[in-house]
Amino acid sequence: MASVITNPVTNANSDRSSRKKKKKKSSAAMSKENQQQSHAKWKSEAQQQTYSSKLIQALSQLSFNSNISSSTSSSPSSPRPGRAVREAADRALAVAAKGRTRWSRAILTRRVKLKFRKQKRNRGSAAATVAAAFSGSSGSRKPRFSVSKLRAKSLPTVQRKIKVLGRLVPGCRKEPLPVILEEATDYIAALEMQVRAMSAIADLLSGSGAAARSSSPPPPISQ
Amino acid sequence: MLHRLESLESCTYDGMDMTTRLKRKQQYYVVQNNNPVELCASSLPQFQGLIGNNLGSGQMVELKRPEDFLGTDDFQEFVNLPVAGPEFGYSEKLDLAPPEAAADYCISWTSSCQITTLNTAVMKEEREDMILEKMESTTGSGRASFNKRKAEAVADHKRNKGEGEGESEVKTKCSTEISRNSSKENSKASEVQKPDYIHVRARRGQATDSHSLAERARREKISKKMKCLQDLVPGCNKITGKAGMLDEIINYVQSLQRQVEFLSMKIAALNSSVELSVENLPMKEFPAYVANFPAAAKLPEMAGLPCFELNPLQKESVKCMLNESMHPPQTEGIASASVSISEQSLSSSSMTQLQPFSTWNMDPQGLYNMYNMGFH
């Protein structure tokens, strides 16, 4: 990603026409390649390996943190324990996407925004209000379909569906249709890879768990 | 010399599909003719050699050029001019379009007029820079205004098509003519960047209105993207129309997200029992796992959960997580499935439908089909 950014800068010394030619070629190539190669990119084994290793690292960190902090505090981290794995998986996926797409950038800045909001509220109000507000905000983060269904025939059919799709793909709420379609293409390919990798991890865990359980007596569960 | 260049310029202008900048270029060209000619003469012998060398490749490239209308990079490959580059620093003065250069090139190659070739080479260099400058400068100006001017140019071209085109095309090679005609048939909307000009040619028998041209370009972009999505989403081959396609896409994305949710819960449940450390996991076996289990379908997993070795605490946690994750139950089937699992009873119709599915090795698309069969 850094190379893409600095390309125009480093070529400043070269011939002006060649620099502009490169810029045009890269942008033209990218717009075409993005669509054609997104599926191939997410389908490759290497990508899945990378993602799996990243996810496993994140999971190990997560369990480590929860084990340490479970005795001291009530909840391990800001997302509830139920959502922690999901958040970690999404973030690992966004990192694997290298931030070239809108949805990956939106996922990566999700936690940052929440932390920012939390800090703001912390300064203004007491801790109790913060916890309530934060849990409320995290709960309302999910797209509410009921509100839009109340207004019948608010928009033409296709427009409504475009909005729904925009809300599904992270970071694409206010984007026009072509952008949404492009992001959805990449997002779907990435999600498929995520499902493949996570199911493999789950099988791995269950396999190793079964082996551990069969070999030794079950360890005391400290929760 | 000047006169000849002017005449050449005019006939090429008539003969080619031009963008609007040509109209202004005409004036520029007349004014600036002096300088290039002088310098051309000095570097003539070098260029002659270049012309000879590039003749073969030049003609080959010529075929491609009408296709990548905006591809000024082709020009660079076409004639590698060490001469033209640094010496002719008239980048600020002229404002010419690549198609014009193409026409000039075609004409000059066939007529083997070296000086005009040199000039066109010069022009080409300057044109490129001017185009790019123009693009950068008109970033502020609205697209609509450009489209209007472009439409005028296209309309003008259509009028002049009869007289001018024959003249110029006679001069060019037959192959280039054919390729150029075919490129006119396909309207090109290769959009490089947002502030760039969209070179769209109106198809035969279609409106040349600027608005309709822009609309057509936009619609083609969208349909191209929808086709890409159609390949990704399973079961979309039969569906035509944007609404149905969007429905399918939405359903698919939702099902994928739900799968991720279930898998994350499963991993969390397993995580709590198995201490996850890097040494624990047989990382070497990972590729084998990845190959053998493309994706264990989650819904059959849910059907098999009662058979799963869960101690009571884990069952509790799974139940809680299942209830938690069902925020807006999109389909009744899923909700009932979760309820049935939490109750440890598989009496609901949806679950009985799922039970026979014992295939565990399913990729997400297969799962999606099964999901469709079960709930629709």
Q: What span, in angstroms and rounded, lies between the C-alpha atoms of A15 and A23?
A: 12
Query: Which of B92, B106, B100, B153 lies closest to B124 in space, CA to CA?
Result: B100
Q: How far is B291 from chain A (nearest CA, A)?
A: 9
Burial of residue B276 (CB within 10 Å: 0-12, 13-18, 19+) is buried
Residue range B262-274: mean pLDDT, rounded = 83
Q: Which of B247, B260, B274 sits opposite A212 (nearest CB)?
A: B274
Tens of pLDDT, residues A102-121: 888 888 888 788 888 888 88
Q: Which of B192, B252, B273 sits opposite A209 (nearest CB)?
A: B273
Give me the residues paired with residue B361 across strands.
B296
Tokens of A194: 């995520």
Q: Which of B260, B296, B363 sits opposite A203 (nearest CB)?
A: B296
Residue of chain A nearest B293, judged by CA positions: A200
Rounded to 10 deg, the angle between the B114-137 and B98-111 helix axes is: 170
Task: Confirm or reject contact between A62 and chain B (CB < 8 A).
Answer: yes
Residue whose structure tokens are 């000095």: B42
User: In angstroms, what is the C-alpha Rg of chain B?
Assistant: 32
Task: Confirm or reject contact between B203 and chain A (CB < 8 A).
Answer: no
Task: Confirm or reject contact between A81 and chain B (CB < 8 A).
Answer: yes
Q: Which of B225, B280, B296 sits opposite A208 (nearest CB)?
A: B280
CB contact (8 A) between residue A200 and residue B73 = no
Q: What span, in angstroms and rounded, lies between the C-alpha atoms of B176 and B59?
A: 8
Q: How far is B235 from chain A (nearest CA, A)?
A: 14
Q: What is the ipTM of this complex?
A: 0.71
Between the alpha carbon of residue B251 and those of residues A84, B118, B282, the distances in Å are: 25, 60, 36
Displacement of CA B89 from its chain's centroid (Å): 34
Task: Confirm or reject contact between A191 and chain B (CB < 8 A).
Answer: yes
Tens of pLDDT, residues B74-106: 444 444 444 444 444 444 444 444 444 444 444
Residue B20 DSSP label: T
Residue pairs spanning A and B at CB distance below 8 A: 220
Tens of pLDDT, residues A52-98: 888 788 877 877 777 776 655 554 456 677 788 888 888 888 888 88
Q: How far is B256 from chain A (nearest CA, A)?
A: 6
| Amino acid (one-letter) located at B340 | S
Residue whose structure tokens are 């709420």: A173
Q: Which of A60, A194, A206 sits opposite B270 (nearest CB)?
A: A206
Task: Confirm or reject contact between A220 and chain B (CB < 8 A).
Answer: no
Q: Three-state SS for B123?
A: helix
Range B117-121 contact pairs with CB under 8 angstroms and sequence separation of 24 or more: B117/B47, B117/B51, B118/B36, B118/B40, B118/B43, B118/B44, B118/B47, B118/B83, B118/B84, B119/B5, B119/B36, B119/B37, B119/B40, B121/B47, B121/B79, B121/B81, B121/B83, B121/B84
Residues 4..23 of A with a Cβ closer than 8 Å to B: which?
15-18, 20-21
Residue of chain A nearest B130, judged by CA positions: A17
Q: What span, in angstroms and rounded, lies between the C-alpha atoms of B332 and B346?
A: 15
Residue of chain B nearest A212, judged by CA positions: B274
Is the CB of residue A51 less than 8 Å from the CB of residue A197? yes
Q: What span, in angstroms and rounded, lies between the C-alpha atoms of A54 and B370?
A: 30
Most confident among A9-23, B9-23, B263-277, B354-368 (mean pLDDT): B263-277
Task: Confirm or reject contact between A40 and chain B (CB < 8 A).
Answer: no
Q: What span, in angstroms and rounded, lies between the C-alpha atoms of B163 and B159?
A: 9
Residues 53..72 of B with a Cβ closer than 8 Å to A: which?
70-72
A-chain residues within 8 Å CB-CB of B368? none
Q: What is the predicted pLDDT for the residue at A217?
A: 62
Task: Confirm or reject contact between A194 and chain B (CB < 8 A).
Answer: yes
**Confidence class for position B165, pLDDT limits 50, 70, 90:** very low
Residue whose structure tokens are 């990566």: A108
Angle at B271 between CA B266 and CA B275, to 5 degrees: 160
Displacement of CA B47 from its chain's centroid (Å): 37
Q: What span, in angstroms and rounded, lies between the C-alpha atoms of A166 and A214?
A: 47
A-chain residues within 8 Å CB-CB of B365? 192
Is the CB of residue B58 less than 8 Å from the CB of residue B78? yes
Between the alpha carbon of residue A218 and those of residues A210, B268, B272, B282, B311, the distances in Å are: 10, 17, 12, 20, 10
Task: Confirm or reject contact between A61 and chain B (CB < 8 A).
Answer: no
CB contact (8 A) between residue A200 and residue B252 = no
Specify the CATH number of the domain B212-271. 4.10.280
**Confidence class for position B218, pLDDT limits 50, 70, 90:** very high
B-chain residues within 8 Å CB-CB of A188? 229, 232-233, 249, 252-253, 256
Q: What span, in angstroms and rounded, lies between the C-alpha atoms of B249 and A188?
A: 9
Residue whose structure tokens are 């900048």: B21
Q: What is the mean pLDDT of chain B?
A: 54
CB contact (8 A) between residue A25 and residue B73 = yes
Best mutation site among A199, A205, A208, A223 for testing chain B: the one with the most B CBs within 10 Å? A199
Most confident among B70-79, B99-108, B258-267, B275-284 (mean pLDDT): B258-267
Tens of pLDDT, residues B191-205: 444 566 667 666 777
Write down the domain spans for chain B.
212-271
**What DSSP line would sit under A140-156, residue for residue?**
HTS--HHHHHHSTTSS-
Q: What span, in angstroms and rounded, lies between the C-alpha atoms of A34 and B234?
A: 20
Q: What span, in angstroms and rounded, lies between the C-alpha atoms of A205 and B270?
A: 6
Q: What is the predicted pLDDT for the residue at B254?
A: 93
> Has residue A143 got a pLDDT over 90?
no
Residues 211..240 of B with a Cβ closer than 8 Å to A: which?
218, 221-222, 224-226, 228-229, 231-233
Q: What span, in angstroms and rounded, lies between the C-alpha atoms of B80 and A151?
A: 63
List of residues 6+ apart from A79 with CB closer than 8 A: A87, A138
CB contact (8 A) between residue B260 and residue A218 = no
A-chain residues within 8 Å CB-CB of B287? 45, 49
Residue of chain A nearest B364, judged by CA positions: A192
Tens of pLDDT, residues B225-250: 988 888 888 888 888 888 888 899 99
B-chain residues within 8 Å CB-CB of A92? none
Between the alpha carbon of residue B119 and those of residues A164, B106, B107, B193, the distances in Å are: 56, 13, 12, 29
List of residues 6+ apart from B293 with CB closer than 8 A: A199, A200, A203, B360, B361
Displacement of CA B135 from its chain's centroid (Å): 20
CB contact (8 A) between residue A206 and residue B132 = no
Task: Confirm or reject contact between B296 and chain A (CB < 8 A).
Answer: yes
Residues 198..217 of A with a Cβ closer than 8 Å to B: which?
198-206, 208-210, 212-213
Tens of pLDDT, residues B303-323: 444 444 444 444 444 444 445
